[in-house]
């Protein structure tokens, strides 16, 4: 996390990061540097506001919940 992103609200950092490509929760945790509870609340709020959506990416024996920007309709 850079000083530039540390001054932005977590939701803005998440949206900017997802503009670069889909990310899982661990990757977004690394980008935001915020606690998991705060990250989860922000992700749920963005999902409730229809800014992002989730899907599962198969990785070996488990699937990883992944986030992406919601497509404009």
Per-residue pLDDT tens for 31-65?
A: 999 999 999 999 999 999 999 999 999 988 999 99
pTM of the model: 0.85
Domain segments of the chain as ranges? 3-69
Residue 11 pLDDT level (bands cut at 50, 70, 90): very high
pLDDT in tens, 35-44: 999 999 999 9
- Report the first-to-last Cα separation within the chain, whole angstroms: 32
- Which numeric CATH code is attached to 3-69? 1.10.10.10
Q: Which residues lie below 8 Å from residue 28, measured CB to CB, with a gap of 6+?
A: 14, 17, 39, 43, 67
Cβ burial, residue 41 (10 Å; 0-12/13-18/19+): middle
């Amino acid at each position: 996390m850079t000083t530039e992103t540390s001054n932005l609200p977590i939701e803005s950092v998440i949206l900017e990061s997802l503009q670069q490509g889909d990310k899982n929760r661990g990757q977004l945790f690394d980008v935001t540097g915020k606690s998991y509870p705060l990250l989860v609340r922000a992700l749920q709020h963005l999902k409730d506001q229809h800014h992002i959506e989730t899907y599962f990416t198969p990785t070996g024996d488990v699937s990883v919940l992944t986030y992406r920007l919601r497509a404009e309709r």
